Structure 1
Amino acid sequence: LETVHRVLEQFFQPRIGEPRWSCRSMARAAGISATRVHKLWAANDLKSHLTRTFKLSNDPNFEEKFWDVIGLYLDPPDKALVLCFDEKSQMQALERTQPGLPLGIGHIRTQSHDYVRHGTVRLFTALDYLQGRLISSIEYQHRHQEWLELLKKINRETPKHLQLHLIVDNYVTHKHPKVKAWLEKHKRFHAFHSDLQLMVERFFRGITVYLREGSFSSVRELESSITTFLALRIAQPTRYA
Protein backbone atom coordinates (compact mmCIF):
# COMPACT_ATOMS: atom_id res chain seq x y z
CA LEU A 1 0.00 0.00 0.00
CA GLU A 2 2.87 2.40 0.77
CA THR A 3 4.20 1.75 -2.72
CA VAL A 4 0.86 2.66 -4.29
CA HIS A 5 0.59 5.82 -2.15
CA ARG A 6 4.10 6.76 -3.23
CA VAL A 7 3.20 6.33 -6.88
CA LEU A 8 0.00 8.38 -6.46
CA GLU A 9 1.90 11.19 -4.72
CA GLN A 10 4.86 11.14 -7.08
CA PHE A 11 2.83 10.71 -10.27
CA PHE A 12 -0.39 12.55 -9.40
CA GLN A 13 -1.25 12.67 -13.10
CA PRO A 14 -0.63 9.61 -15.32
CA ARG A 15 1.85 9.84 -18.14
CA ILE A 16 1.12 11.75 -21.35
CA GLY A 17 -1.28 9.76 -23.51
CA GLU A 18 -2.96 8.14 -20.51
CA PRO A 19 -6.03 10.07 -19.27
CA ARG A 20 -6.08 8.25 -15.92
CA TRP A 21 -4.35 5.54 -13.94
CA SER A 22 -5.31 1.95 -14.69
CA CYS A 23 -4.37 -1.10 -12.66
CA ARG A 24 -1.84 -2.09 -15.32
CA SER A 25 -0.24 1.35 -15.72
CA MET A 26 0.11 1.78 -11.97
CA ALA A 27 1.47 -1.75 -11.65
CA ARG A 28 4.19 -0.90 -14.16
CA ALA A 29 5.03 2.35 -12.36
CA ALA A 30 5.03 0.72 -8.91
CA GLY A 31 6.81 -2.45 -9.96
CA ILE A 32 4.14 -4.82 -8.68
CA SER A 33 1.46 -6.97 -10.30
CA ALA A 34 -1.80 -5.57 -11.66
CA THR A 35 -3.70 -8.05 -9.47
CA ARG A 36 -1.98 -6.62 -6.39
CA VAL A 37 -2.90 -3.07 -7.44
CA HIS A 38 -6.52 -4.11 -8.00
CA LYS A 39 -6.76 -5.65 -4.54
CA LEU A 40 -5.21 -2.56 -2.92
CA TRP A 41 -7.57 -0.24 -4.76
CA ALA A 42 -10.59 -2.33 -3.79
CA ALA A 43 -9.49 -2.47 -0.13
CA ASN A 44 -9.04 1.32 0.03
CA ASP A 45 -12.01 2.33 -2.18
CA LEU A 46 -9.82 3.92 -4.87
CA LYS A 47 -11.72 4.39 -8.15
CA SER A 48 -9.62 6.10 -10.79
CA HIS A 49 -12.33 5.71 -13.44
CA LEU A 50 -14.77 7.97 -11.56
CA THR A 51 -14.86 11.77 -11.40
CA ARG A 52 -17.11 13.72 -9.06
CA THR A 53 -18.29 17.05 -10.44
CA PHE A 54 -19.06 20.16 -8.41
CA LYS A 55 -20.23 23.72 -8.92
CA LEU A 56 -19.33 26.89 -7.05
CA SER A 57 -21.98 29.60 -6.79
CA ASN A 58 -21.11 33.22 -7.54
CA ASP A 59 -24.02 34.42 -5.43
CA PRO A 60 -22.64 36.41 -2.45
CA ASN A 61 -25.72 35.41 -0.45
CA PHE A 62 -25.47 31.73 -1.37
CA GLU A 63 -24.90 30.40 2.15
CA GLU A 64 -27.87 32.27 3.59
CA LYS A 65 -30.13 31.06 0.78
CA PHE A 66 -28.73 27.55 1.11
CA TRP A 67 -29.78 27.26 4.75
CA ASP A 68 -33.17 28.84 4.03
CA VAL A 69 -33.89 26.17 1.42
CA ILE A 70 -32.54 23.31 3.55
CA GLY A 71 -34.73 24.54 6.40
CA LEU A 72 -37.80 24.46 4.15
CA TYR A 73 -37.07 20.89 3.11
CA LEU A 74 -36.32 19.58 6.60
CA ASP A 75 -38.84 21.58 8.61
CA PRO A 76 -41.69 22.91 6.44
CA PRO A 77 -43.76 25.68 8.06
CA ASP A 78 -47.19 24.87 9.47
CA LYS A 79 -50.17 25.57 7.22
CA ALA A 80 -47.82 25.89 4.24
CA LEU A 81 -46.96 23.97 1.10
CA VAL A 82 -43.36 23.76 -0.15
CA LEU A 83 -43.01 23.37 -3.91
CA CYS A 84 -39.77 23.01 -5.83
CA PHE A 85 -39.94 24.15 -9.44
CA ASP A 86 -37.78 23.73 -12.49
CA GLU A 87 -37.98 23.47 -16.26
CA LYS A 88 -36.88 20.51 -18.34
CA SER A 89 -35.91 22.18 -21.60
CA GLN A 90 -35.08 20.85 -25.05
CA MET A 91 -37.21 17.72 -24.84
CA GLN A 92 -36.78 16.50 -28.38
CA ALA A 93 -39.29 14.63 -30.52
CA LEU A 94 -36.85 12.11 -32.00
CA GLU A 95 -38.11 9.61 -34.54
CA ARG A 96 -35.96 6.55 -35.16
CA THR A 97 -35.29 6.02 -38.87
CA GLN A 98 -36.25 2.33 -38.71
CA PRO A 99 -38.47 0.33 -36.37
CA GLY A 100 -36.61 -1.80 -33.84
CA LEU A 101 -37.22 -5.34 -32.65
CA PRO A 102 -38.98 -5.96 -29.33
CA LEU A 103 -37.45 -7.86 -26.44
CA GLY A 104 -37.53 -11.61 -27.02
CA ILE A 105 -36.06 -14.89 -25.86
CA GLY A 106 -32.39 -14.91 -26.73
CA HIS A 107 -32.10 -11.28 -27.85
CA ILE A 108 -32.46 -7.78 -26.45
CA ARG A 109 -34.68 -5.10 -27.94
CA THR A 110 -33.11 -3.00 -30.68
CA GLN A 111 -33.26 0.65 -31.65
CA SER A 112 -31.67 2.39 -34.61
CA HIS A 113 -28.79 4.71 -33.78
CA ASP A 114 -29.88 7.48 -36.17
CA TYR A 115 -33.05 9.55 -35.93
CA VAL A 116 -34.96 12.55 -37.31
CA ARG A 117 -35.68 15.60 -35.16
CA HIS A 118 -39.23 16.96 -35.21
CA GLY A 119 -38.93 19.81 -32.71
CA THR A 120 -38.75 20.37 -28.98
CA VAL A 121 -40.96 21.21 -26.02
CA ARG A 122 -40.35 22.31 -22.43
CA LEU A 123 -41.88 20.82 -19.31
CA PHE A 124 -42.54 23.12 -16.36
CA THR A 125 -43.12 21.25 -13.11
CA ALA A 126 -43.72 22.26 -9.50
CA LEU A 127 -43.24 19.30 -7.16
CA ASP A 128 -44.73 18.85 -3.70
CA TYR A 129 -41.88 16.57 -2.65
CA LEU A 130 -43.54 15.40 0.60
CA GLN A 131 -46.69 14.15 -1.12
CA GLY A 132 -45.26 13.57 -4.59
CA ARG A 133 -47.93 15.75 -6.18
CA LEU A 134 -47.16 17.55 -9.46
CA ILE A 135 -48.40 20.73 -11.10
CA SER A 136 -47.07 20.83 -14.65
CA SER A 137 -47.47 22.50 -18.02
CA ILE A 138 -45.96 21.76 -21.44
CA GLU A 139 -44.67 24.87 -23.19
CA TYR A 140 -42.73 25.88 -26.31
CA GLN A 141 -40.96 28.87 -24.77
CA HIS A 142 -39.72 29.99 -21.37
CA ARG A 143 -40.75 33.62 -21.04
CA HIS A 144 -42.24 35.44 -18.09
CA GLN A 145 -45.68 34.85 -19.64
CA GLU A 146 -45.35 31.06 -19.32
CA TRP A 147 -44.03 31.38 -15.78
CA LEU A 148 -46.95 33.60 -14.83
CA GLU A 149 -49.44 31.12 -16.27
CA LEU A 150 -47.93 28.34 -14.16
CA LEU A 151 -48.06 30.52 -11.05
CA LYS A 152 -51.76 31.11 -11.72
CA LYS A 153 -52.28 27.38 -12.19
CA ILE A 154 -50.54 26.69 -8.89
CA ASN A 155 -52.77 29.30 -7.27
CA ARG A 156 -55.89 27.59 -8.64
CA GLU A 157 -54.89 24.01 -7.81
CA THR A 158 -53.68 24.42 -4.22
CA PRO A 159 -55.79 24.94 -1.07
CA LYS A 160 -56.42 28.65 -0.55
CA HIS A 161 -55.66 28.59 3.18
CA LEU A 162 -52.06 27.42 2.66
CA GLN A 163 -49.02 29.62 2.30
CA LEU A 164 -46.94 28.62 -0.75
CA HIS A 165 -43.15 28.48 -0.54
CA LEU A 166 -41.64 28.10 -4.02
CA ILE A 167 -38.02 27.01 -4.49
CA VAL A 168 -37.00 28.15 -7.98
CA ASP A 169 -33.76 28.76 -9.84
CA ASN A 170 -32.29 32.15 -10.74
CA TYR A 171 -33.59 32.26 -14.31
CA VAL A 172 -34.21 35.87 -15.32
CA THR A 173 -37.89 35.35 -16.24
CA HIS A 174 -38.63 34.36 -12.64
CA LYS A 175 -37.68 37.90 -11.59
CA HIS A 176 -39.45 39.80 -14.37
CA PRO A 177 -41.20 43.01 -13.21
CA LYS A 178 -44.62 41.64 -14.16
CA VAL A 179 -43.92 38.47 -12.19
CA LYS A 180 -42.87 40.52 -9.17
CA ALA A 181 -46.01 42.63 -9.49
CA TRP A 182 -48.22 39.51 -9.58
CA LEU A 183 -46.46 38.01 -6.56
CA GLU A 184 -46.89 41.28 -4.69
CA LYS A 185 -50.65 40.95 -5.13
CA HIS A 186 -50.67 37.30 -4.05
CA LYS A 187 -49.16 37.41 -0.59
CA ARG A 188 -49.35 33.68 0.05
CA PHE A 189 -46.54 33.10 -2.48
CA HIS A 190 -42.98 33.21 -1.13
CA ALA A 191 -40.17 32.63 -3.65
CA PHE A 192 -36.75 31.27 -2.69
CA HIS A 193 -34.19 31.42 -5.50
CA SER A 194 -31.63 28.62 -5.53
CA ASP A 195 -29.77 26.74 -8.26
CA LEU A 196 -28.63 23.78 -6.22
CA GLN A 197 -31.45 22.37 -4.11
CA LEU A 198 -34.12 21.44 -6.62
CA MET A 199 -35.59 18.04 -5.75
CA VAL A 200 -37.75 18.17 -8.85
CA GLU A 201 -34.64 17.11 -10.79
CA ARG A 202 -35.24 13.62 -9.40
CA PHE A 203 -38.63 13.60 -11.11
CA PHE A 204 -37.08 14.81 -14.37
CA ARG A 205 -34.60 11.93 -14.23
CA GLY A 206 -37.54 9.52 -14.24
CA ILE A 207 -39.25 11.08 -17.24
CA THR A 208 -35.94 11.20 -19.11
CA VAL A 209 -35.56 7.44 -18.75
CA TYR A 210 -39.20 6.95 -19.80
CA LEU A 211 -38.85 9.00 -23.00
CA ARG A 212 -35.38 7.78 -23.95
CA GLU A 213 -36.74 4.54 -25.39
CA GLY A 214 -39.46 6.22 -27.45
CA SER A 215 -39.75 7.19 -31.09
CA PHE A 216 -41.92 10.23 -31.85
CA SER A 217 -43.06 11.23 -35.32
CA SER A 218 -44.16 14.70 -34.17
CA VAL A 219 -44.07 17.10 -31.27
CA ARG A 220 -47.74 16.33 -30.64
CA GLU A 221 -46.88 12.65 -30.20
CA LEU A 222 -44.14 13.58 -27.73
CA GLU A 223 -46.56 15.79 -25.80
CA SER A 224 -49.05 12.90 -25.62
CA SER A 225 -46.39 10.61 -24.16
CA ILE A 226 -45.37 13.25 -21.59
CA THR A 227 -49.03 13.75 -20.65
CA THR A 228 -49.45 9.98 -20.16
CA PHE A 229 -46.41 9.85 -17.89
CA LEU A 230 -47.67 12.81 -15.84
CA ALA A 231 -51.10 11.20 -15.47
CA LEU A 232 -49.55 7.99 -14.16
CA ARG A 233 -47.41 9.85 -11.63
CA ILE A 234 -50.34 12.01 -10.51
CA ALA A 235 -52.48 8.88 -10.04
CA GLN A 236 -49.68 7.21 -8.03
CA PRO A 237 -47.71 10.01 -6.32
CA THR A 238 -44.26 9.17 -4.96
CA ARG A 239 -42.85 10.88 -1.87
CA TYR A 240 -39.37 12.33 -2.50
CA ALA A 241 -38.33 13.09 1.07
Structure 2
Amino acid sequence: IDKTVPAGLDVHLVCDNYGTHKTAAIKAWLAKHPRFHMHFTPTGSSWINQVERWFGFLAEQKIKRGAHKSVQALEKDVRAWIADWNTHPRPFLWTKTAEEILESLARFCRRISGARH
Protein backbone atom coordinates (compact mmCIF):
# COMPACT_ATOMS: atom_id res chain seq x y z
CA ILE A 1 0.00 0.00 0.00
CA ASP A 2 2.89 2.38 0.68
CA LYS A 3 3.85 2.37 -3.00
CA THR A 4 0.27 2.48 -4.33
CA VAL A 5 -0.52 6.01 -3.10
CA PRO A 6 1.63 8.78 -4.61
CA ALA A 7 4.48 9.73 -2.29
CA GLY A 8 3.35 13.32 -1.77
CA LEU A 9 0.00 12.37 -0.29
CA ASP A 10 -0.95 11.45 3.25
CA VAL A 11 -3.06 8.34 3.75
CA HIS A 12 -5.90 8.38 6.27
CA LEU A 13 -7.14 4.97 7.40
CA VAL A 14 -10.55 4.68 9.03
CA CYS A 15 -10.69 1.54 11.16
CA ASP A 16 -13.04 0.03 13.65
CA ASN A 17 -11.95 0.03 17.27
CA TYR A 18 -10.72 -3.57 17.22
CA GLY A 19 -7.49 -4.03 19.21
CA THR A 20 -5.42 -5.54 16.38
CA HIS A 21 -5.09 -2.10 14.84
CA LYS A 22 -3.34 -0.92 17.99
CA THR A 23 -0.71 -3.65 18.44
CA ALA A 24 2.98 -2.96 18.88
CA ALA A 25 3.70 -4.23 15.36
CA ILE A 26 1.17 -1.82 13.83
CA LYS A 27 2.41 1.08 15.94
CA ALA A 28 6.02 0.32 14.88
CA TRP A 29 5.01 0.21 11.19
CA LEU A 30 3.14 3.50 11.52
CA ALA A 31 6.14 5.10 13.22
CA LYS A 32 8.22 4.22 10.14
CA HIS A 33 5.51 5.50 7.78
CA PRO A 34 4.44 8.90 9.16
CA ARG A 35 2.21 9.79 6.21
CA PHE A 36 -0.26 7.11 7.38
CA HIS A 37 -2.80 8.36 9.91
CA MET A 38 -5.15 6.05 11.80
CA HIS A 39 -8.66 7.17 12.71
CA PHE A 40 -10.83 4.92 14.86
CA THR A 41 -14.61 4.86 14.79
CA PRO A 42 -16.46 4.93 18.09
CA THR A 43 -17.34 1.54 19.51
CA GLY A 44 -20.70 0.46 18.10
CA SER A 45 -20.56 3.02 15.31
CA SER A 46 -23.49 2.31 13.03
CA TRP A 47 -22.05 3.63 9.75
CA ILE A 48 -19.08 1.24 9.85
CA ASN A 49 -21.59 -1.60 10.29
CA GLN A 50 -23.24 -0.46 7.07
CA VAL A 51 -19.90 -0.47 5.25
CA GLU A 52 -19.25 -4.00 6.52
CA ARG A 53 -22.73 -5.05 5.35
CA TRP A 54 -22.02 -3.61 1.87
CA PHE A 55 -18.86 -5.72 1.65
CA GLY A 56 -20.96 -8.67 2.80
CA PHE A 57 -23.33 -8.11 -0.13
CA LEU A 58 -20.37 -7.96 -2.48
CA ALA A 59 -18.94 -11.19 -1.08
CA GLU A 60 -22.29 -13.01 -1.18
CA GLN A 61 -23.48 -11.83 -4.58
CA LYS A 62 -20.27 -11.75 -6.59
CA ILE A 63 -17.26 -13.36 -4.94
CA LYS A 64 -18.71 -16.51 -3.36
CA ARG A 65 -20.98 -17.27 -6.31
CA GLY A 66 -18.39 -16.55 -8.98
CA ALA A 67 -15.99 -18.87 -10.75
CA HIS A 68 -13.04 -16.67 -11.55
CA LYS A 69 -10.14 -18.14 -13.48
CA SER A 70 -7.82 -15.18 -12.86
CA VAL A 71 -7.36 -12.16 -10.63
CA GLN A 72 -8.21 -10.00 -13.64
CA ALA A 73 -11.54 -11.81 -14.10
CA LEU A 74 -12.37 -11.38 -10.41
CA GLU A 75 -11.45 -7.69 -10.54
CA LYS A 76 -13.58 -7.18 -13.66
CA ASP A 77 -16.61 -8.79 -11.97
CA VAL A 78 -16.14 -6.82 -8.75
CA ARG A 79 -15.81 -3.54 -10.66
CA ALA A 80 -18.94 -4.34 -12.69
CA TRP A 81 -20.87 -5.15 -9.49
CA ILE A 82 -19.75 -1.86 -7.90
CA ALA A 83 -20.71 0.09 -11.04
CA ASP A 84 -24.17 -1.51 -10.97
CA TRP A 85 -24.55 -0.78 -7.25
CA ASN A 86 -23.59 2.87 -7.82
CA THR A 87 -26.02 3.15 -10.75
CA HIS A 88 -28.84 1.55 -8.74
CA PRO A 89 -28.01 2.25 -5.07
CA ARG A 90 -30.01 0.41 -2.46
CA PRO A 91 -30.20 2.13 0.90
CA PHE A 92 -29.63 0.20 4.09
CA LEU A 93 -32.65 0.10 6.34
CA TRP A 94 -32.52 -0.55 10.05
CA THR A 95 -35.17 -3.10 10.94
CA LYS A 96 -35.13 -2.67 14.70
CA THR A 97 -36.26 0.24 16.79
CA ALA A 98 -33.98 1.87 19.34
CA GLU A 99 -36.04 0.23 22.08
CA GLU A 100 -35.53 -3.23 20.56
CA ILE A 101 -31.79 -2.68 20.31
CA LEU A 102 -31.55 -1.44 23.90
CA GLU A 103 -33.58 -4.40 25.17
CA SER A 104 -31.30 -6.80 23.27
CA LEU A 105 -28.30 -5.12 24.86
CA ALA A 106 -29.91 -5.35 28.31
CA ARG A 107 -30.53 -9.11 27.80
CA PHE A 108 -26.91 -9.57 26.79
CA CYS A 109 -25.69 -7.67 29.85
CA ARG A 110 -27.89 -9.77 32.14
CA ARG A 111 -26.59 -12.95 30.51
CA ILE A 112 -22.93 -12.09 30.96
CA SER A 113 -23.13 -10.43 34.38
CA GLY A 114 -21.15 -12.57 36.78
CA ALA A 115 -19.62 -14.57 33.95
CA ARG A 116 -16.12 -15.82 34.63
CA HIS A 117 -13.88 -14.51 31.86
- TM-score, normalising length from structure 1? 0.27
Query: Greater CA radius of gyration, 1 or 2?
Result: 1
Greater relative contact order (CA < 8 Å, ≥ 6 in sequence): 1
In terms of fraction of residues, the more helix-rich structure is: 2
- TM-score, normalising length from structure 2? 0.49
